[in-house]
C-alpha cells in the first residue's frame, strides 16, 4: 500500500469524546424539526404545479424535505390538465382535498374523487389528470432514501385506493362507539394487508383519519415519529397545543399554539407532547401522516400518553 493510498483511507477519520457527541441534537450539531405550516390558498389558485412543503434549509438536508424522512406537498391541477411526478421513494400517499381525476402508473389507472386516499410504490413516473379543479395532499419518503444513498428497486405493495365513503363509514362507526369519549383520539388508522406487523398504510408511512368532536379536548400524547397534519373541515376555535414537557398535572409547559385552518397542513415535531381542542361548536376532521410505519418496524415509535388520571380529569372538565 502506498503512502498516498493509506492517506486516502484515513482522510475522513474523526474521534469524539463521548459527552461531546452522544446527543448531537442537544449539542446543536443537528437541527430540530421546525414548526411550520402550508396554507390552503397556495393550492386554491395559480397554474397546475407541485407546491413543496420544503423545510430542507432548516433541516440542513437535500430537498425537498418536510422532515428527515418525508416530503409533503400540495398538488394543484387545473380542469382538463395533467401533471407528471416521479420520485425516488418506496411509498407515495395521496389524499384528494377536492376534485375528480385519474392517476396512471404504467397500465394501472386509479379514478379518484374528493375524500379518497391512494398509495403507490415510488420510483415510477405517475401521470395525474384532473377532470375538475383538483388539489391533492402528497407525502413520500424520498428524503429517507436520499439520506441513505439508496434507490427504490423493489415494490412492497401494489397501488391501493381507499374510497372516501368507506373511510367516512369506518370513522362514523368508531365515533358512535360508547367508549369513544374515553379514547385519546377518535380515529381510524388506514392499513394494508401486506404489512401485518406494523398495521400501517405502507411499510414506512402511517395515516390516520380522525375526528375532533365539538367541545372536545383530546389529551396529550407524544411519539418519535413526525406528524405532517392535514386539517380538513374546521371552524375557528380548533387548535393544537405542542410542548416539550408537561407539568405534574399533565398540562403543557410553555406550549406553542397551532390554530387549525381548513385544507391546510402543519408539522408536529417528533417526541413533542401535543393535544387537540375544539371550541368551535362544530365537529372537525384531520389527517395526520407520519413515518410511523418505519418507526414501528424499528421498534422505536415509543408512543406515550398522559397519565390516565390526567385524562379522566380533563374528560370530566368538558362534560
pLDDT digits 0-9 by tens, 131-181: 999 999 999 999 999 999 999 999 999 999 999 999 999 999 999 998 887
Q: Which residues contact 4 (CB under 8 A, 6 or more apart)?
A: none
pLDDT at 179: 86
- Grouping H, G, I as helix, E, B as strand and the rest as coil, residue 75 is strand
pLDDT in tens, 48-107: 999 999 999 999 999 999 999 999 999 999 999 999 999 999 999 999 999 999 999 999
DSSP letter, residue 310? H
Residue 201's nearest CA partner among 288, 105, 79, 106 is 288
Q: What is the mean pLDDT of the chain?
A: 94
How confident is the model over 112-142, as pLDDT tens digits? 999 999 999 999 999 999 999 999 999 999 9
Q: What is the pLDDT of residue 38?
A: 98
Contacts of 231 (CB under 8 A, 6+ apart): 238, 260, 261, 262, 263, 264, 265, 266, 284, 285, 286
pTM: 0.93
Q: Which spans in 75-226 are helix H?
A: 142-148, 164-175
Please say if the pLDDT value at position 2 is more than 90: no
Q: Nearest-CA neighbor of 104 among 76, 130, 80, 126? A: 126
**pLDDT, greater one: 60 or 317:** 60
pLDDT at 319 over 90: no
Give strand ranges (E) for 33-133. Answer: 37-38, 49-53, 71-77, 82-85, 92-98, 100-105, 108-113, 117-120, 126-130
Residue-wise pLDDT tens digits, 21-49: 999 998 889 999 999 999 999 999 999 99
Q: Give the pLDDT score at 307.
A: 67
Instruction: Decide: 76 and 51 in contact? Cβ < 8 Å.
Output: yes
Q: How far apart are CA 198 and CA 4, in angstroms?
A: 49
Can you give the pLDDT at residue 113?
98
pLDDT for the residue numbered 1:
62
Percent of the chain with pLDDT over 90: 89
Amino acid at each position: 500500500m502506498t503512502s498516498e493510498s493509506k492517506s486516502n483511507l484515513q482522510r475522513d477519520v474523526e474521534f469524539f469524546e463521548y459527552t461531546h457527541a452522544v446527543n448531537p441534537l442537544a449539542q446543536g450539531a443537528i437541527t430540530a424539526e421546525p414548526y411550520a405550516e402550508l396554507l390552503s390558498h397556495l393550492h386554491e389558485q395559480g397554474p397546475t404545479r407541485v407546491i413543496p412543503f420544503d423545510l430542507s434549509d432548516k433541516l440542513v438536508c437535500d430537498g425537498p424535505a418536510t422532515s428527515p424522512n418525508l416530503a409533503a406537498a400540495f398538488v394543484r391541477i387545473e380542469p382538463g390538465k395533467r401533471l407528471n411526478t416521479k420520485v425516488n421513494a418506496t411509498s407515495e400517499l395521496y389524499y384528494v382535498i377536492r376534485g375528480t381525476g385519474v392517476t396512471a402508473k404504467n397500465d394501472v389507472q386509479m379514478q379518484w374523487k374528493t375524500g379518497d386516499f391512494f398509495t403507490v410504490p415510488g420510483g415510477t413516473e405517475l401521470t395525474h389528470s384532473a377532470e375538475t379543479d383538483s388539489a391533492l395532499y402528497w407525502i413520500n419518503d424520498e428524503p429517507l432514501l436520499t439520506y441513505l444513498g439508496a434507490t427504490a428497486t423493489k415494490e412492497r405493495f401494489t397501488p391501493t385506493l381507499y374510497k372516501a365513503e368507506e373511510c367516512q363509514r369506518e370513522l362514523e362507526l368508531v365515533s358512535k362507539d360508547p367508549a369513544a369519549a374515553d379514547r385519546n383520539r377518535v380515529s381510524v388508522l388506514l392499513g394494508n394487508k401486506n404489512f401485518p406487523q406494523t398495521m400501517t398504510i405502507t411499510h414506512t408511512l402511517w395515516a390516520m383519519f380522525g375526528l375532533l368532536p365539538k367541545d372536545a379536548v383530546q389529551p396529550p400524547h407524544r411519539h418519535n415519529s413526525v406528524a405532517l397534519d392535514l386539517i380538513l373541515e374546521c371552524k375557528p376555535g380548533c387548535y393544537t397545543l405542542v410542548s416539550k414537557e408537561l407539568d405534574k398535572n399533565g398540562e403543557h409547559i410553555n406550549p406553542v399554539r397551532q390554530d387549525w385552518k381548513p385544507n391546510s397542513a402543519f408539522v408536529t415535531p417528533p417526541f413533542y407532547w401535543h393535544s387537540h381542542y375544539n371550541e368551535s361548536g362544530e365537529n372537525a376532521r384531520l389527517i395526520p401522516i407520519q413515518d410511523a410505519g418505519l418507526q414501528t418496524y424499528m421498534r422505536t415509535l415509543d408512543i406515550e400518553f398522559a397519565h390516565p388520571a390526567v385524562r379522566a380529569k380533563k374528560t370530566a372538565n368538558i362534560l
